Structure 1
Amino acid sequence: MTITLQYTNVTVNNVDEAIAFYRDGLGLDVRNDVANGEFRWVTLGSPDQTGTEIVISEPHAGRSQADGDALQELLLKGQLPMLVFRTDDLDATFEQVRATGAEVLQEPVVQPWGPRDCAFRDPSGNMVRINQSS
Structure 2
Amino acid sequence: MKLTSLRIISKNIKQAVQFYEKAIGLTAQWYTEDFAELSTNTISIAIGSTRTMKMFGENLEESAGYQNTIIEFLVSNVDEEYERIKGLASQVVQEPTTMPWGNRSLLFRDPDGNLINFFTPVSVEAIQKFN
Which moves more between the two structures, 116-125 or 9-18?
A: 9-18
**Alignment map for 1:4-23 (pairs within 5 Å):** 4-23=2-21
Displaced runs of 4 or more, over 3 A: none
Q: Of 60, 76, 79, which aligns to 1:91?
A: 79
**Alignment map for 1:1-134 (pairs within 5 Å):** 4-30=2-28, 32-35=29-32, 40-45=34-39, 49-61=40-52, 62-69=55-62, 71=63, 74=64, 78-79=66-67, 81-133=69-121, 134=127
How far off its partner does 1:99 sit? 2.3
Unmatched runs of 5 consecutive residues or more in structure 1 = none
Length-normalised TM-score, structure 1: 0.78
C-alpha contact (below 8 Å) 1:13/1:58 kept by paired residues: yes
Cα distance change, pair 18–80 in 1 and its aligned pair in 2 (3 A) = farther
C-alpha contact (below 8 Å) 2:8/2:45 kept by paired residues: yes
Unmatched runs of 5 consecutive residues or more in structure 2 = 122-126
Match of 2:81, SS state, is: helix
Length-normalised TM-score, structure 2: 0.79
Give me the CA root mean square deviation: 1.9
How far off its partner does 1:59 sit? 2.8
How far off its partner does 1:65 sit? 4.2
Query: Which AA in structure 2 matches 1:57?
Result: G
Instruction: State the percentage of identical aligned residues.
Output: 23
Report the number of matched residues. Answer: 120
Higher relative contact order (CA 8 A, sep 6+): 1
